[in-house]
C-alpha cells in the first residue's frame, strides 16, 4: 500500500470509533481565553486523578495553550453545542468570541451549557508520532447539567438515541416501543399547550422518564429523558390509582414512618381521587423545582446529593399532590398533570405528564388542560393497542 492509501485506510477504519467532543481551554498571559476542539480526550487514572488528550504537534491552538502555562480546563460539550465545537475548531484567534464562559478555580474558561468540566494542571507531555499525549492532574471537576454529550462519528455529529436508555433493561425495551407509538399524540399536545409532555414508565420500583415532547417553560434540566425517581408517594400516583390493592399498599408503604399522619392520609386517599378525576395533579412550582433539581443531581451521580436526600424531598412535597378539590376562587401554580395510557391488558402501561405554565392560572384553565391531557392519553391508549376502562375515558376517545 502507498503512504496515501495507508493514511486513507487509517482514517476510514479509526473513523468507525465514536468519540465525545471537548473544548480544551486556557487563559494566556494577557488574560485572553484560548480554546481547542479535541476528540481525543480520555480519563486515565483515578489515583492520582489523571486525564489525557492528544493534540497535533503542528496545531496552532495547542501551541498557544502550551505557551500559556500548565493550567487547562476540559469542557465536555453537550449535543446543543455543535456550533461551539465548530467555532473553536475553525477560528484562528478569539476562539471563544460570543460564547458565554466563567473562569474555573485554575483560571481557565468553563463554557456555559457544557455537560461537565475538568480543571487540570499539566504533569506530562509525551511524544507520540505527529501528536503529543498531554497528561493532566485533575484539580477540580463537576457536572454542569444532565445534558447529553455531543458525539462525533464518521465525520458527523450526533447525540444519544433513546435506545441507549434500554441498555441492559429488558422491561424498558417494551416500554420504548409503546412510547414510540404514543409520541405523535404527545407532540400534538405539547404544541397545542406550548409546553412539555413527558412519558413516564414504571420499571420495577422506579419511575423512568422515557420520552419528552416540547419544552416546559418551567423545566430545570436541559433534558429530563432518562431520569429515574423512586416509585413512592406522591410520585407515580396514577400507577397506584389503577393498580390493585397490593400495588397501592406497596406504594404507600414506601413513604416510611417518619411522615406526618395528615400527609400519609392525603396520599392514602390520593389513588381514589385520581381514579375519580381521571388524572393526578401537582401544585406548587417551588417544591417541584427543588425536586427536579435534586433528581437531576442524583441521576447525574452528583456525590453531594444522595438518593436519601431525594427521598426526603419527595416525602416533603406530598401536600401539593392530589390534595382536596382546588379552590375555585383563587389561582394556582400548576406544576403538572398526569394521566394513564392503558396497555392491551387494561393496566396502566405508561403515564403522560403535561407540565404547567410558569406563574399562577385559574382553576378553570387547569380543568381545560386536564381535559386535553385525558383526551390525549385516551388517543395514545388506542395508538398502543391498549384497552380503555369503561366510562369517561372511552367517551373522550371518540
Ligand X SMILES: Cc1cc2nc3c(=O)[nH]c(=O)nc-3n(C[C@H](O)[C@H](O)[C@H](O)COP(=O)(O)O)c2cc1C
**Least Å from the CB of residue 71 to ligand X:** 19
Per-residue burial over 330-340, b if 16 or more Cβ lie within 10 Å, else e, is: eebbbbbbbbb
Shortest spacing between CB 37 and ligand X, in angstroms? 4
Q: At closest approach, how far in Å is the CB of 102 from ligand X?
A: 22
CA proximity to 357, closest of 219, 237, 227: 219
State the nearest-atom distance from the C-beta of 62 to ligand X, in Å. Answer: 6
Residues that bind ligand X (CB under 6 A): 21, 36-40, 54-56, 59-61, 85, 89, 92, 152
Residue number, 54 or 219, with CB nearest to ligand X: 54
Nearer to ligand X among residue 90 and residue 390 (C-beta): 90
CB of 315 to ligand X, least distance (A): 45
Nearest Cα residue to 40 out of 27, 25, 49, 51:
51
Which residue lies nearer to ligand X by CB, 87 or 338?
A: 87
Residue 23 or 240 with smaller CB distance to ligand X: 23
**Spatial strand order in the sheet of 156-158:** 19-20, 151-153, 156-158
Compute the distance between CA of residue 318 and CA of residue 52 in angstroms, rounded to an integer. Answer: 46
CB of 22 to ligand X, least distance (A): 9
Minimum distance of ligand X from residue 211's CB (angstroms): 28
- Least separation in angstroms between residue 74's CB and ligand X is 12
Tell me whether residue 59 or residue 122 sits nearer to ligand X (CB atom): 59
**CB nearer ligand X, residue 87 or residue 353:** 87
- For residue 101, the minimal CB distance to ligand X (Å) is 17
Query: Based on the number of CB atoms within 10 Å of its own CB, is 95 exposed (0-12), middle (13-18) or buried (19 or more)?
Result: buried
Which residue, 132 or 287, is less far from ligand X as judged by CB? 132
Comparing CB distances to ligand X, the nearer of 74 and 393 is 74
Distances (CA, A) of 292 to 49, 269, 288: 30, 25, 6
As measured in angstroms, the least distance from the Cβ of 99 to ligand X is 15
Residue 93 or residue 286: which is nearer to ligand X going by CB? 93
Closest CA to 219 of 356, 79, 316, 15: 356
**23/232 with CB nearer ligand X:** 23
Amino acid at each position: 500500500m502507498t503512504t496515501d492509501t495507508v493514511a486513507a485506510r487509517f482514517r476510514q477504519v479509526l473513523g468507525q470509533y465514536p468519540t465525545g467532543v471537548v473544548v480544551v481551554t486556557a487563559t494566556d498571559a494577557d488574560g485572553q481565553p484560548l480554546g481547542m476542539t479535541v476528540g481525543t480526550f480520555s480519563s486515565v487514572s483515578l489515583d492520582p486523578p489523571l486525564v489525557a488528550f492528544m493534540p497535533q504537534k503542528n496545531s496552532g491552538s495547542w501551541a498557544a495553550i502550551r505557551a500559556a502555562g500548565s493550567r487547562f480546563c476540559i469542557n465536555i460539550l453537550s449535543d446543543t453545542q455543535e456550533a461551539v465545537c465548530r467555532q473553536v475548531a475553525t477560528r484562528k484567534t478569539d476562539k471563544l468570541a460570543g460564547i458565554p464562559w466563567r473562569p474555573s478555580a485554575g483560571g481557565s474558561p468553563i463554557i456555559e451549557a457544557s455537560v461537565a468540566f475538568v480543571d487540570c494542571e499539566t504533569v506530562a507531555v509525551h511524544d507520540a508520532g505527529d501528536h503529543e499525549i498531554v497528561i493532566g492532574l485533575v484539580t477540580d471537576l463537576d457536572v454542569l447539567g444532565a445534558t447529553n454529550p455531543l458525539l462525533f462519528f464518521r465525520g458527523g455529529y450526533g447525540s444519544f438515541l433513546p435506545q441507549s436508555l434500554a441498555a441492559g433493561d429488558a422491561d424498558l425495551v417494551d416500554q420504548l416501543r409503546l412510547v414510540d407509538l404514543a409520541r405523535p399524540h404527545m407532540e400534538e399536545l405539547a404544541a397545542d399547550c406550548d409546553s412539555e409532555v413527558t412519558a413516564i414508565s414504571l420499571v420495577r420500583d422506579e419511575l423512568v422518564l422515557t420520552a419528552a415532547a416540547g419544552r416546559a417553560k418551567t423545566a430545570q434540566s436541559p433534558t429530563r429523558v432518562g431520569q429515574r425517581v423512586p416509585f413512592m408517594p406522591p410520585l407515580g400516583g396514577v400507577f397506584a390509582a389503577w393498580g390493585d390493592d397490593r400495588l397501592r399498599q406497596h406504594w404507600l408503604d414506601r413513604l416510611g414512618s417518619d411522615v406526618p399522619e395528615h400527609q400519609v392520609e392525603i396520599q392514602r386517599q390520593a389513588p381514589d381521587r385520581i381514579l375519580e378525576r381521571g388524572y393526578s395533579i401537582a401544585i406548587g412550582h417551588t417544591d417541584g423545582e427543588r425536586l427536579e433539581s435534586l433528581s437531576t443531581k442524583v441521576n447525574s451521580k452528583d456525590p453531594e446529593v444522595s438518593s436519601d436526600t431525594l427521598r426526603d424531598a419527595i416525602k416533603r412535597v406530598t401536600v401539593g399532590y392530589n390534595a382536596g378539590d382546588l379552590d375555585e376562587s383563587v389561582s394556582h401554580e400548576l406544576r403538572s398533570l398526569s394521566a394513564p395510557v392503558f396497555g392491551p391488558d387494561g393496566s396502566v402501561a405508561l403515564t403522560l405528564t403535561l407540565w404547567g405554565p410558569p406563574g399562577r392560572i385559574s382553576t378553570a384553565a387547569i380543568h381545560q388542560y386536564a381535559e386535553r391531557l385525558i383526551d390525549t392519553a385516551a388517543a395514545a391508549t388506542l395508538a398502543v393497542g391498549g384497552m380503555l376502562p369503561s366510562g369517561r375515558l372511552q367517551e373522550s376517545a371518540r
